[in-house]
């Protein structure tokens, strides 16, 4: 079974009605990114940051996986699929994808502000209990914070993602502008001769040659990609 590695960005979740950095009118537009998504922002006002992510979780709970998520999950019938996502939502998992690497953290999880990646301090929130209260503590007694990779922080899963990409038989990018690093650099780990597909309705600038561009939104692009890939399988 061939190995398919897929990098997904904000455009993957846009059809699900989940706000992204790029959306006009979304929650992101109401606050400077530095205030709610940076390490300095967290240190300056943790209560504001937790309140902001409480709002994002409320929006995520109401969102549903779109056809693009579902089609990607269905490709597991034909390929060994690994999803590497820049998104912090859980829509891939809810659609049925079984192997998802989150580069920028997971919105429905919280952790210690003293030791962010300590597995004993990472807790998953539920739709019935998704808000972090002011002053709420993690298991180690430090302030509870979102399990999100803030700007100014290292991306701990990038090496794992790079290893996956370097062993891919097919590489696909969906809904990413390839402007956010280090995720955008994953394209350079693709082995020579490996087919690369990029699904996005907007033109994406890259120095990498030989990419097949599908200028469509995630769901429509995944319909076409499924036909291309599964036709190749037959």
146 φ, ψ (degrees, to nearest 5): -65, 145
> Alpha carbon 125 to chain centroid distance?
18
Enumerate long-range contacts of 39-42, CB under 8 Å, 24 or more apart.
39/150, 39/151, 39/152, 39/153, 40/152, 41/150, 42/113, 42/145, 42/150
What is the C-alpha separation between 34 and 16, in angstroms, rounded? 25
For residue 137, give the DSSP letter: B
Query: Do β-strands 211-214 and 123-124 pair in parallel, antiparallel, or remain unpaired?
Result: unpaired
Catalytic residues: 104
């Amino acid at each position: 079974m061939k190995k398919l590695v897929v990098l997904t960005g904000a455009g993957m979740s846009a059809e699900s009605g989940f706000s992204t950095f790029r959306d006009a009118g979304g929650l992101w537009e109401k606050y400077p990114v530095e205030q709610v998504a940076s390490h300095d922002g967290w240190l300056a006002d943790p209560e504001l940051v937790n309140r902001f992510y409480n709002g994002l979780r409320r929006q995520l709970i109401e969102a549903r996986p779109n056809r693009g998520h579902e089609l990607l999950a269905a490709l597991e019938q034909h390929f060994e699929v690994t999803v590497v996502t820049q998104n912090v939502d859980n829509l891939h998992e809810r659609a049925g994808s079984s192997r998802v690497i989150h580069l920028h953290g997971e919105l429905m999880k919280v952790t210690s502000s003293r030791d962010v990646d300590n597995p004993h301090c990472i807790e998953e929130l539920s739709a019935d209990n998704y808000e972090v209260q002011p002053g709420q503590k993690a298991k180690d007694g430090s302030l509870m914070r979102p399990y999100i990779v803030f700007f100014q922080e290292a991306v701990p899963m990038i090496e794992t993602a790079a290893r996956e990409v370097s062993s891919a038989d097919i590489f696909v990018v969906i809904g990413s502008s390839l402007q956010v690093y280090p995720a955008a650099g994953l394209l350079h780990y693709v082995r020579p001769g490996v087919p690369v597909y990029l699904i996005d309705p907007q033109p994406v600038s890259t120095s990498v040659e030989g990419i097949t561009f599908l200028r469509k939104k995630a769901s429509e692009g995944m319909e076409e990609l499924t036909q291309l890939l599964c036709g190749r399988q037959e």
